[in-house]
């Protein structure tokens, strides 16, 4: 019986997928037929030279820094949209999207707020999967760290990569996706950033003070912990799943974490929580900077707290950048935590990306994204 139900569900899914595929891929052809009817009825001597209202864009898409190129996609003007029936207009807007001209100004500065010239920038102007857009493009910053994007099209502007020798530029955590309109409450709109108000991208200028060739101990992992105050040891250097420890082993790592839920009673009616990170054999420091490429000399403390007030309420999770020391403060590391409480008050999940410099120097490189971009 269970097997028959699975077969029926699979068959239904396949039928729906085939129908949607036919529906999506036939929309451009419907627009072409509409355009043909308009051409015939116009009786204009130039009718045979007119272009269809919408073109199907199903060609090859090049990608990568060396293959960045501009490609035109489907586009309907306001005048064209007015000629469509309500049903056709809805299909166009919902499936192909509305393409807009992109006008955007950005600026790249380093950790000292000095402009960075000659940065190579790879970006995409796109709409939906069927809507085209300007595709992959490249540009560079000028002597003032400024770059401008114009004469490109799309409903979104997606920055893929920025690079320059001697600098580390991480787009994760910065504004890398811009829209033509306020798609979500926290969305960035490209028209807000002009020559008078450019969007600022942060770069990290690598110091010549440290030996950057040293091999850092780096990685990432996640876990789920009880939110009842239980203490868990985190050993970044332990193999496999043995990085999260409990019981008598909690002091064998570099830090200890615990989650405490408070609330749901007369004293604290709202459910609130605290995520506490404690250093085992050194100190820990919370920082707001995007880049954690160089550990500070001082300012470390025994423990830090990350509370419900520090998270993004839209997604119910937050990010926390930290430096830590261990081995009696002689070894430096960094850890970027993402804490989520989507399970329930009894549990919490976290993801952490880390780097440790075994040589004892403070150089730690910048944060590489271990989360899908």
Question: Element (H or E) spanning 90, and its range?
Answer: helix 86-91
Q: List the domain boundaries for the chain.
A: 2-41, 67-205, 217-357
User: What is the mean predicted confidence (pLDDT) over 4-26?
Assistant: 62
Q: Do the beta carbons of residue 132 and residue 155 sit within 8 Å?
A: no
Q: Which of 45-59, 113-127, 206-220 has the lowest mean pLDDT?
A: 45-59
User: What is the mean predicted confidence (pLDDT) over 324-352?
Assistant: 83
**pLDDT score, position 109:** 95
pLDDT of 264 higher than 70: no
Partners of 135 in the beta sheet? 125
User: What is the mean predicted confidence (pLDDT) over 177-198?
Assistant: 87
Q: Which of 28-42, 113-127, 140-154, 217-231 has the lowest mean pLDDT?
A: 28-42
Between residues 371 and 276, which one has the greater pLDDT? 276
Between residues 64 and 155, which one has the greater pLDDT? 155
Percent of the chain with pLDDT over 90: 29
**Mean pLDDT of all residues belonging to the chain:** 75
Q: Do the beta carbons of residue 366 and residue 358 sit within 8 Å?
A: no
Between residues 154 and 53, which one has the greater pLDDT? 154
Q: Round to whole Å and give the CA distance between 276 and 268.
A: 19
User: What is the mean predicted confidence (pLDDT) over 139-148?
Assistant: 96
**pLDDT score, position 20:** 59
**Confidence label for 126 from pLDDT (cuts 50, 70 and 90):** confident
Q: Do the beta carbons of residue 193 and residue 199 sit within 8 Å?
A: yes
Residue burial 248-257, b: 16+ Cβ < 10 Å; e: rest: eebeebbbbb
**Confidence label for 247 from pLDDT (cuts 50, 70 and 90):** confident
Q: Do the beta carbons of residue 277 and residue 259 sit within 8 Å?
A: no
Rounded to 5 degrees, φ, ψ at 158 are -120, 115
Strand boundaries in 255-329, DSSP class E:
255-262, 272-279, 284-287, 303-307, 317-326
Q: Round to whole Å and give the CA distance between 357 and 347.
A: 32
Q: Which of 49-53, 143-147, 228-232, 259-263 has the lowest mean pLDDT?
A: 49-53
**pLDDT score, position 182:** 79
**pLDDT score, position 164:** 92
**pLDDT score, position 248:** 84
User: What is the mean predicted confidence (pLDDT) over 322-331?
Assistant: 94
Per residue in 345-367, pLDDT tens? Answer: 577 788 898 999 999 998 887 65
pLDDT of 242 higher than 90: no
Q: Which of 31-45, 147-161, 272-286 has the lowest mean pLDDT?
A: 31-45
Sign of CA dihedral 276, 277, 281, 285: negative
CATH number of 67-205: 2.60.40.10
pLDDT of 157 higher than 80: yes
Per residue in 265-320, pLDDT tens? Answer: 555 446 677 889 999 999 999 987 767 678 888 999 999 998 877 766 655 567 88
Question: Encoding tokens for residue 265?
Answer: 């009673």
Q: Which of 54-58, 115-119, 230-234, 302-306 has the lowest mean pLDDT?
A: 54-58
Between residues 325 and 171, which one has the greater pLDDT? 325
Q: Round to whole Å and give the CA distance between 99 and 28.
A: 15
Rounded to 5 degrees, φ, ψ at 53 are -60, -45
Q: Which of 74-83, 197-206, 208-217 has the lowest mean pLDDT?
A: 74-83
């Amino acid at each position: 019986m269970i097997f028959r139900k699975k077969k029926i569900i699979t068959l239904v899914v396949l039928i729906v997928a085939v129908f949607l595929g036919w529906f999506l891929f036939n929309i451009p052809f419907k627009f072409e037929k509409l355009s043909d009817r308009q051409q015939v009825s116009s009786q204009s001597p130039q009718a045979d030279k007119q272009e269809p209202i919408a073109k199907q864009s199903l060609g090859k898409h090049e990608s990568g820094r060396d293959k960045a190129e501009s490609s035109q996609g489907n586009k309907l003007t306001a005048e064209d949209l007015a000629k469509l029936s309500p049903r056709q207009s809805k299909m166009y807007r919902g499936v192909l999207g509305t393409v807009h001209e992109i006008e955007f100004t950005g600026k790249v500065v380093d950790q000292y707020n000095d402009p960075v010239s000659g940065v190579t920038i790879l970006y995409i102007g796109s709409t939906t999967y069927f809507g085209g857009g300007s595709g992959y493009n490249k540009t560079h910053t000028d002597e003032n760290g400024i770059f401008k994007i114009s004469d490109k099209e799309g409903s979104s502007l997606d920055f893929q990569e920025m690079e320059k020798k001697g600098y580390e530029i991480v787009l994760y955590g910065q504004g890398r996706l811009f829209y033509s309109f306020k798609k979500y409450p926290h969305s960035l709109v490209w028209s807000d950033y002009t020559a008078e108000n450019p969007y600022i991208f942060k770069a990290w200028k690598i110091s010549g003070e440290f030996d950057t060739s040293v091999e850092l101990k780096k990685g990432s992992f996640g876990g789920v912990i009880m939110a009842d105050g239980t203490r868990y040891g985190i050993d970044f250097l332990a193999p496999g799943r043995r990085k999260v420890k409990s019981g008598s082993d909690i002091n064998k790592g570099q830090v200890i974490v615990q989650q405490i839920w408070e609330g749901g009673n007369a004293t604290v009616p709202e459910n609130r929580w605290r995520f506490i990170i404690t250093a085992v054999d050194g100190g820990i420091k919370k920082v707001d900077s995007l880049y954690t490429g160089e550990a500070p000399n001082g300012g470390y403390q025994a423990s830090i707290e990350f509370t419900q007030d520090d998270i993004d309420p839209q997604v119910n999770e937050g990010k926390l950048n930290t430096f830590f020391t261990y081995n009696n403060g002689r070894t430096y590391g960094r850890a970027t935590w993402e804490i989520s409480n989507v399970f329930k008050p009894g549990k919490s999940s976290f993801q952490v990306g880390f780097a440790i410099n075994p040589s004892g120097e403070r150089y730690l490189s910048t944060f590489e994204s271990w989360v899908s971009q």
